[in-house]
Structure 1
């Protein structure tokens, strides 16, 4: 292929990359449709699945064509990329049909999956443009595998807001559970290993400021128990959502979205609090983040208790978590006053 032909081919690939970037930005900037009177969830998912499978097929075809000599001509490449871009346009059009009334959590989940599918497609074309040649056949296949994965994730998206909220809550629960396990395991020692992560200086091992004192560990007790309360919160909320949650009316959808957002705040504060607990212990920050965690746990408990999600049998469990939170705040206040 002549230098001029190579440059022309590169321009064609670059134009396609830019077109896909525009499509990606459109999806990222779109908050979802407010109202669609004739929306059908079954049709929506049928369209999304069809487009995901077609995008995977078109990207595989491009990979095969560019993995064998001679590589496609400019005209052939334009035809291949046109099919990819048309499929992405159809995918985005299908995404636009999902109204916010179906649930903000679901909408965000699907939007993220659509963006991932477009990004992986763009990456494949970028690899072809930047690294074209038979020597990078493995890179084509690797990038195509990423496209397959992106399309597969799109096909496996939660089908309604309840499923989407459950997926998100399980992910948050995993983070909170890991954080609690991490800090309780660390408390078996003096916390000195935390400050040396990523470093190997022997001097750090003898730095007393990077270890917990017995007083530190005693003061941390209520904060650690608040993380445990957050862990129990997720256990109770997940059980309630799995058993009693519905997404058939606007109020049910909104309640699920609100519960998800309130619990999300709990997981975020747990992450910050765990970092504050490691040596050198900053008591002011520990107290501040502990009170913030207690507040967010309380908000999530109230949201759950007042929603359709929690039945009568769930109320005592939710009340127990709140009592545990209040008890540990009292213990913290008492311990800090005795310093």
Structure 2
């Protein structure tokens, strides 16, 4: 049998494998969990899931090694490899489906995304093997194999319950909000004249410094103050909520698990709100846009604080800062509006 025929015959099981992985990946991404009436053992789920992930990693490694140097696997060996990796993928997807929504939508979403990432990694590896010269180990194949390992390894760091899943969401939101606040502070700390570091000889147009669209007016800077206050209130809310969840978060009761999901969903609106407000503060400043985005962020913040207040994570000590931030939101929004409309 010629080399070309061998390549062709071993490609068939690989192509079938790739199609099957794509179908399973789509089902995992869009499918619903198997909600059971019986008692769900979360610890047992994680033990089984980690074993399934380890098996996928090992099978992907075997597949990559088989196609890393000549001779090529026979069609029969190719079929065995494909069947073996397919079995591990089916096991992984089946175990994922065990996780019911009652354990938390946030947790399930993060497990789903991680599972999909593993399936995408294996699919990419199979695709690379099909497209690469099968006599040599390409850099792309090495990278794809490493991608599968990396996707599998992240399961070790995953949140184990819905409380931990919410903390992951809050950490992500906190980072984005902090970055937006720091960028505005950095821009404000720079000189008002954006061309102060350019030599006069380099300026061909004497009127370039007269372009008010390139830097803030005094009124612009006054408007930015309370807008920063809203952004900092968002950061403080996320920081305080994180501490409250760590101290009081509970996953033993279904209603508490659901409250943690509500907090995850509403706090996800904070970072886009802060980003939108921050972006419209740059010159040339459109006051109507600033007022609109400040109002939107204030509304989200008020909603977040309302949900915190009615949740089990809010004890007596938390109520103090919830009320303080609620007042701070009202104060900064009103101040923003007053400055914008003071000359109109």
TM-score (norm 1): 0.92
More off after superposition, 210-219 vs 80-89? 210-219
Quick one: distance in 2 between partners of 1:78 and 1:181? 55
1:298-337 to 2 correspondences below 5 Å: 298-337=302-341
Quick one: distance in 1 between partners of 2:59 and 2:109? 26
2:71 alignment partner, SS class: coil
1:331 alignment partner, SS class: helix
CA contact (8 A) 2:169 2:264 kept: yes
Quick one: distance in 1 between partners of 2:115 and 2:33? 13
CA contact (8 A) 2:162 2:251 kept: yes
Could you report, residue by residue, the CA deviation over 1:154-181 in whole angstroms, capped at 9, with x for unpaired residues?
2332110001111111111111111111
Correspondence 1:284 to 2:285: no
Q: Which residue of 2 aligns with 1:238?
A: 242
Shift of 1:36: 4.2
**Cα 1:47–1:324, aligned 2, differ >3 Å: closer, same or farther?**
same
Q: Which residue of 1 aligns with 2:109?
A: 108
CA contact (8 A) 1:294 1:325 kept: yes
2:34 alignment partner, SS class: coil
More off after superposition, 132-141 vs 226-235? 132-141
CA contact (8 A) 1:192 1:279 kept: no
CA contact (8 A) 2:21 2:123 kept: yes
**Cα 1:62–1:256, aligned 2, differ >3 Å: closer, same or farther?**
same
Correspondence 1:73 to 2:74: yes
**CA RMSD, Structure 1 to Structure 2 (Å):** 1.9
1:310 alignment partner, SS class: coil
Shift of 1:48: 0.4
Could you report, residue by residue, the CA deviation over 1:60-92 in whole angstroms, capped at 9, with x for unpaired residues?
111111112112122211111111111110111
CA contact (8 A) 2:103 2:161 kept: yes
Structure showing greater Rg: 2
TM-score (norm 2): 0.91
More off after superposition, 255-264 vs 67-76? 67-76
Quick one: distance in 2 between partners of 1:109 and 1:144? 22
Shift of 1:135: 4.1
Quick one: distance in 1 between partners of 2:256 and 2:217? 49
Structure 1 residues without counterparts, runs of 5 or longer: 194-201
Shift of 1:332: 1.1
More off after superposition, 55-64 vs 136-145? 136-145
Shift of 1:234: 0.6
CA contact (8 A) 2:224 2:281 kept: yes
Structure 2 residues without counterparts, runs of 5 or longer: 196-203
